Amino acid sequence: MSPVHTPLAVDYAALDDAALVALVQRGDRDAFRQVMRRCNQRLFRVARGVVNDDAEAEDVVQEAYVHAYEKIEGFRGEASLLTWLTRIVLNAAYGRLRQRRATVGVEQIEAAQHDERVVAFPSRFGHEDPAAAATRAQIRILVERAIDGLPEPFRIVFVLREIEECTVEETAAALDLREETVKTRLHRARRQLRAALRDTLATTLTDAFPFLGSRCERMTDEVLRRLDPSPAEPSRSHLPDSPPAI
C-alpha cells in the first residue's frame, strides 16, 4: 500500500473508525496515526496482560500495528476495529509467550484455587492532596504487582473486564472464549488478586498508624508542658479545695 496524503486538512480525531479505516485503506498514514492514538492504551494493556513486561508489550503492539497496516485492506468491519486490532495483538503476544515458555494448563490453575477469603480494596479515588496522591501511587504499584502475579489466562480477562471495562460479550469476542468462561476466569482472577493483596497487606498491618520519632516527642513534650505549670501559675496542689468559710 503506497502512502497518500489527503489534499485538504482533515480533523482525524472527529472521524469515526469506519471513516479512518477507509482513509487508511487508501494509504493515509495520518489516519493510521489517529487509529493508533485511539487504540494505544487498550492494546498496550492487552499485550501487557499476556507478556507481563512493559518493554515487550510495547514491542508486541508495534509489531501488531505493522501487521495490521499491511492487512487492513482486508478489514470488512464484521467486528469493531478495536476488536480486530485486539485479536492481532493477542496473536502477536501469544506468539512471544510460546517462544518464551510452555504454557501452564488452565485446568491445573483452576484446580489449585481454594481460598475464598476476601480483602476489601478501594477501587475509585477522588481529588487528593499530594500526600494522598503519593499514597495512591503506592497502592497502584501494589495492585499492578498483584495483577502481574495472576496466571496469564486470568490476567488478560481481568485486564479487559476490570481495567478496560469491556463487557462480557466484548471480552469473549476478543479472546475467542465462551461468555461463561469469561465470567468464570474473572471470578477466579478476583479471588486470586484478593488473596495476593491480603498476603501482602498482612505483612504491613503491624506497621500501620506509626507514632514514633518527632510525632511521639511532640506529644510527650506537650503533655509534660501541661503537667508542669508556668512559674506565674500557682500549683493546683496548693489551691484550696473549697472557698474559706466566712
pLDDT in tens, 113-170: 444 333 333 444 455 567 667 767 777 888 888 898 999 999 999 999 999 999 999 9
pLDDT in tens, 159-214: 999 999 999 999 999 999 999 999 999 999 999 998 888 877 776 666 666 666 77
Q: In whole angstroms, give the CA distance from residue 39 to residue 22.
A: 17
Closest C-alpha among 141, 170, 178, 157 to residue 109? 157
Domains defined for the chain, CATH in brackets: 12-103 (1.10.1740.10), 110-207 (1.10.10.10)
Share of the chain above pLDDT 70, in %: 72
Q: In whole angstroms, give the CA distance from residue 189 to residue 196.
A: 10
pTM for the model stands at 0.63
Instruction: Over range 67-93, report the average pLDDT.
Output: 93
Q: Which residues pair with 28 in a beta bridge?
A: 4
Q: Which residues pair with 4 in a beta bridge?
A: 28
DSSP element (H, E) containing 77 = none
128 vs 86 pLDDT, higher one: 86
Cell numbers at 201, concatenated: 497487606
What is the model's pLDDT at position 182? 95
